[in-house]
Amino acid sequence: QRVRCLQREPLSRHTTFRIGGPVDLFVEVFYPDDVAKIMSFCKTNGLPIKIMGGGSNLLVSDGGVRGLVVKLEAAKVDDFFRETANDGLAYRDDGNVIVRVHGGLKTKTLISWCVRMGFSGCEFLAGIPATVGGAVKMNAGTQRGCMGDVVETVEVIDSEGKYHVLDYMKDCRPSYRHADIPESGVVVSATFRLLRSRPDKVRLKVKSIMKERLEKQPLGYPSAGCVFRNPAQNLSAGYLIDKCALKGVRIGDAEISAKHANWIINRGRATAKEVLSLIEMVKKRVFDEFGLVLQEELEIWH
């Protein structure tokens, strides 16, 4: 089956927050050519379309969204390996390894593969539950690194179904949790520049990053990671929220994590409305205390 369509599919099944009402048509797509066909069909017929990867940076409203949500999936892990065995993997004289990766591939799978192959560069992605396409779009990362450090080119299908190969640094200009991907464009693959290392070394780095995350982040509950962008490089939103004594504050089942103030967790049956109320509360308190306007890092779908 190349494409899977589900009518009135609750998006809570596809977001890491486990929150979100239904979409008219949820379409899981595996092959870029099918993405291109769907994009041009929607454009011709004026149908609204949204792209989803791992659903890990999304807050979807309780009423859901209209039109189509297209979720890009890497067919099977096998297909990813087949692709890399054929034409996706190249070794450069300078010691770099270039690998082309499907946009729907889970970053977790990419990291496991890097560990097995002994390729270094993607370790910073450990614990970020994204797909490659979503990570490219958000320039996902941490203080240890971001997609801009490792991605060379991205293959994008635009809203008319046309393919483009873009230079990530020059054309997409990745910045803090943002990259310029042409409007409604779907990232169907990306090439990564990795370094040859050793499996044990890469594994150790991934493990230590995961350990640190477990200590600092409330990973036992559904969430979308950090809710707000840091207002400045040396000023974290978490610090400001903590200073407002908001840790642990709850509305319904939505809670400002007691472990990490910039995370809102879903303690069971939280609704988008409850999360949005917490977001508004945080913004007001931080503004009243510090005169700073916090901006959401997560994306809100109405």
Examine the residue annotation and report whether 100 is marked as an active-site residue of this protein: no
Q: Which is nearer to ligand FAD, 104 or 282 (CB)?
A: 104
Catalytic option among 177, 193, 229, 250? 177
Residue 141 or 285: the one with the smaller Cβ distance to ligand FAD is: 141
Give me 84's structure tokens: 């890399």
Catalytic residue (one of 122, 146, 172, 226): 226
* Shortest Å, Cβ 267 to ligand FAD: 15
Phi, then psi, of 131 in degrees rounded to 5: -105, 165
Nearest to 232 by CA among 279, 169, 293, 146: 293
Q: Closer to ligand FAD at the Cβ: 120 or 257?
A: 257
Residue 297 is a catalytic residue = yes
Which is catalytic among the residues 28, 83, 123, 297?
297
**HSE value, Cβ hemisphere, 13 Å, CA-based, for 59:** 26
Cβ proximity to ligand FAD: between 67 and 118 the closer is 67
DSSP H or E stretch at residue 285: helix 272-290
| Residues at the contact surface with ligand FAD, assessed by CB under 6 A | 16, 50-58, 72, 103, 128-131, 133-135, 137-138, 140-142, 177, 181, 186-187, 223-225, 299
Report, in Å, the least distance between residue 288 CB and ligand FAD: 27
Q: In the chain, where do the E strands start and end?
A: 3-10, 22-29, 49-52, 58-60, 65-72, 89-91, 96-102, 119-120, 141-142, 145-146, 151-157, 163-167, 186-196, 223-226, 250-251, 254-256, 263-266, 299-301
**For the chain, what is the largest distance between any 2 Cα atoms, rounded to a whole number of angstroms?**
58
For the CB of residue 93, give the shortest distance to ligand FAD in the complex, in Å.
Answer: 31
Minimum gap (Å) between residue 74 Cβ and ligand FAD = 10
- Beta carbon of residue 135, minimum distance to ligand FAD (angstroms, whole number): 4
Which residue reads 């190969």 in tokens? 165
Residue 203: count of CB within 10 angstroms of its CB: 17
Instruction: Decide if 177 is catalytic.
Output: yes
Nearer residue to ligand FAD within complex by CB, 56 or 61 = 56
Catalytically active residues, by annotation: 177, 226, 297
